[in-house]
């Protein structure tokens, strides 16, 4: 989920490159989000379920796996909405270039549960009014806008 704990590829002197897949999952007028745990540099920030690709894994498979790991819910029918990129610096000064593949998914099974020992510590459905009050990761609003097109 978070840039600060996943394995990433070196990008030379410029920093590192990280490719990750994230899920936009809606239930009626609510959106599924996960909260960054104390294992990250951004504890308490809310993200879309998702994270870095594993070796040889397709982005569509990664988004389904990450959603299950972080929320307990099974996703189906991943549909690529778009790609978002950004560059940020970690507290160590290391720069990270993130390539975020944003997928729309359907929730098909499972019961929501919180991840333990991972990069998120809570999974929850939020309505639009609540979203406006949450500390959201920088890419979340852009990702949600992709799903509204």
Res. 109: pLDDT tops 80: yes
Domain ranges of the chain: 9-147
Catalytic residue among 41, 43, 69, 122: 122
Active site residue 122: yes
Confidence of residue 98 (pLDDT cuts 50, 70, 90): very high
Res. 140: pLDDT tops 50: yes
3-state secondary structure of 128: helix
Residues 6+ apart with CB under 8 A from 87: 15, 95, 96, 97, 98
pLDDT in tens, 10-58: 555 678 999 999 999 999 999 999 999 999 999 999 999 999 999 999 9
**pTM for the structure as a whole:** 0.89
| H-helix segments, 17-102 | 59-71
Say if CB 11 and CB 47 are below 8 A apart. no
The percent of residues in the chain predicted with pLDDT above 70, rounded, is 91
What local confidence, expressed as pLDDT, does residue 5 receive? 47
CATH T-level assignment (fold) for domain 9-147: Nucleoside Triphosphate Pyrophosphohydrolase (3.90.79)
The predicted model gives 104-112 an average pLDDT of 94
β-bridge partners, 30: 27
What local confidence, expressed as pLDDT, does residue 13 receive? 65
pLDDT in tens, 71-91: 999 999 999 999 999 998 888
């Amino acid at each position: 989920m978070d840039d600060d704990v996943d394995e990433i590829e070196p990008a030379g002197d410029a920093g590192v490159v990280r490719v990750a897949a994230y899920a936009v999952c809606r239930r009626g007028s609510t959106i599924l989000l996960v909260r960054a745990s104390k294992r990250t540099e951004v504890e308490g920030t809310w993200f879309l379920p998702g994270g870095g690709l594993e070796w040889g894994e397709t982005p569509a498979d990664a988004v389904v796996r990450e959603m299950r790991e972080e929320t307990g819910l099974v996703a189906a029918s991943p549909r690529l909405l778009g790609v978002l990129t950004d560059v940020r610096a970690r507290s160590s000064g290391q720069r990270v270039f993130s390539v975020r593949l944003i997928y729309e998914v359907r929730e098909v099974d499972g019961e929501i549960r919180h991840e333990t020992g991972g990069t998120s510590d809570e999974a929850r459905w939020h309505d639009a009014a609540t979203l406006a009050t949450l500390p959201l990761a920088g890419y979340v609003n852009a990702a949600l806008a992709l799903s509204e097109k």
